[in-house]
Amino acid sequence: MDNINALILFVSLILLFCIAFSRFLTKAGIPVLVFFILAGMIMGSDGIGGIYFDNAAVASTIGNFAICYILFAGGMATSWKSAREVLVPGVLLSTVGVIITAVLVGVAAYLLVGLTWLQGLLLGAVVSCTDAASVFSILRSNNLNLKAPLAPLLELESSSNDPTAYMLTIAIIGLMTAPDSSFFSFVTLFVMQFVIGGVLGLAFGFAGAWVMNRIRLNSDGLYPVVAATLAALIYSAVQVMQGNGFLGIYIAGMVMGNMKLVYKSSLVRFFDGFSWLMQILVFVTLGLLVFPSQLPSVWLPALTISAMLMFIIRPAAVFLTLLPFKYTKKAQLLVSWVGLRGASSIVFASYALTYALPNGDVIFNMVFFISLTSVIIQGSLLAPMASLLDQLDHEDKTLVSRSFTDYEEELQGGLYELSVTKGSSAVGMAVEELKFPESVRIMLIRRGSGTVTPTGKTQVKEGDMLMVTANNTDVLLALKERLGFA
């Protein structure tokens, strides 16, 4: 028991130090999540912690679980209004762009590193997706306001390209473990998973919103729990039905995030924080899985692929994909540079260890090295690159907060105050007993020097100030007359 307590103390101190040090990292343009990978390596068997962990299957499971919630949170925080303006180029970057990247990396790995064709393509598949968490943490921490429509384009691409990379990875592993598989079966599986995942994601998203808006709970704190349970249910249901669970959960999150939901702001804030917890969990786990003593043997081939990915392959994929659209060369160069690799790539690389593939350890270590160099080099130079390419908007100071994870409550109509005075018939009634019309919503109750977030069971008291939204004042006048509000 003492050993367990000592271990918990050690891990807690390391994580707290990482969080405290994050301020200095973000100023340098390096995502704090990189520090959590290093923390995992420090706590691992080659570090001072001495925690021996080599179970790739457990790491993959933890990674899949974490990515599920990261994608759901990303979907909820994505504005459909902004996303639809860049829908076609964004979707093409997250599908065609990912495939082009995977193929080009595969060719480079075959010619320069000495991997087989399938091993090279597997390496390409796992590093073909960009890491949304790294991208947006850098943009937000440096308060970089990109010129429209770059912000929503990068948001949509980095948030939605994991499903394509995942499918490519699984398909190539299938070809490696079952050589008799045909290319036609691979294409059929690819299309089927995307269609089923997309359709079920839409259906479950609407169903999830319906459940959230109609369930009546006694505690406000249970609503995030219900939403988190729904997210797990949606992901697993899509997987069981042979769809792409990552695509399904992202679309479901986007549907729910763009609909009216009870306690929507609280839910989005909860999942923003919860996704951070998931990212920390997966980065520390992957750090534990890495044996730093093995990295020197792959540094040269990994650095070669990483450099080609930054300066040749990613730009080629972006320019080819965006060719039909009217983006300037400078804008395309910035999109090319904002192609950071991160947690998803390392999680997908762990599959090579899970399936005990030939050169699986080499591929995993190379991906780990590529991801670190990508985040450190591209991340630290992102702000200077955006300035050099003249892609910063110096007039609009709200682009970052409006385009990424921040969320403002959707208010229908105006915001008004209703005072519960002495003699009002509302005194002592529960909120659900007030029978407000659908067009009127109580957002907050000011009570004394504090505030109350109302539920249907919240009891109205004399002196309360109800903060409500309404489409027109006629409805409010009728309520004042009926319930005696001031």
Q: Which residue has the tokens 């489409």?
A: 471
Query: One digit per residue, pLDDT tens: the chain, 486 residues?
Result: 556 777 677 667 766 776 676 666 666 556 666 777 877 888 777 777 777 888 888 888 888 888 888 888 888 877 777 778 888 999 999 999 999 999 999 999 999 988 999 999 999 999 999 887 777 667 666 666 777 778 788 888 887 888 899 989 988 998 888 777 676 777 787 788 889 999 999 999 999 999 988 887 777 778 888 999 999 999 999 999 988 888 899 999 989 988 888 777 778 778 877 887 888 888 888 888 888 888 888 889 999 999 999 999 999 999 999 999 988 999 999 999 988 888 889 889 999 999 989 999 999 999 988 988 888 888 888 888 888 988 877 655 444 433 333 444 444 456 677 788 777 888 888 887 877 776 677 777 888 766 777 777 788 888 888 877 776 666 777 777 777 776
Q: What is d(CA 112, CA 305) in angstroms, rounded to the nearest whole number?
A: 9
What's the residue count for the chain?
Answer: 486
The pTM of the full predicted model, rounded to 2 decimals, is 0.76
Domain borders along the chain are 54-279+307-403, 414-483
Q: Which residue has the tokens 């007039």?
A: 395
The edge-to-edge listing of strands for the beta sheet with 450-452 is 414-419, 465-470, 441-447, 450-452
DSSP sequence for 120-182: HHHHHHHTSS--HHHHHHHHHHTT--BPTTHHHHHHHHHHHSHHHHHHHHHHHHHHHH-TT--
The secondary structure of the chain in percent helix, strand, coil, rounded to multiples of 5, reads: 70, 5, 25
Residues 179-212: b if buried by 16+ CB within 10 A, e if exposed: eeeeeeebeebbeebbebbbebbebbbebbbeeb
Q: Do domains 54-279+307-403 and 414-483 have the same CATH topology?
A: no
CATH match of 414-483 with 3.10.20.30: no
Could you please state the CATH topology (level 3) that the domain comprising 54-279+307-403 is classified under: Na+/H+ antiporter like fold (1.20.1530)
